[in-house]
Amino acid sequence: MLKNQKGITLVALVVTIVVLIILATISISIALNGGIADKAQKAGSAYQQEERKWNDTEQNVMDFVHPYLVNADLED
């Protein structure tokens, strides 16, 4: 006789693996057909454009302010 079996059964293990395979298949299908990769690439491009704009603006401000900072040091 078997005494107080503990753990999972083979059937439970197989069912869990099948469910995980189904979820993985659905996720991959949505990722490929839903255009997630394309959307991520577009978002990355938009971010890089905005970063370039910010860097240009920051450089323009520094170019404008720098002469005043240099002259302020000389007046002291």
Burial of 63 (0-12, 13-18, 19+ CB in 10 A): exposed
- Of all residues in the chain, the percent with pLDDT exceeding 90 is 36
pLDDT tens by residue, 31-58? 888 778 788 889 999 999 999 998 889 8
Least confident of 22-26, 43-47, 57-61, 71-75: 71-75
Whether residue 74 is predicted with pLDDT greater than 60 in this model: the reply is no
> Are the CB atoms for 47 and 39 separated by under 8 Å?
no
pLDDT band at 70 (very low <50, low <70, confident <90, very high): confident
pTM over 0.75: no
What separation in angstroms does the CA of 49 have from each of 35, 41, 61? 21, 12, 19
Structure confidence at residue 44 (pLDDT)? 93
Distance CA 33, CA 17 (A): 24
Q: How far is CA 65 from the centre of its chain?
A: 36
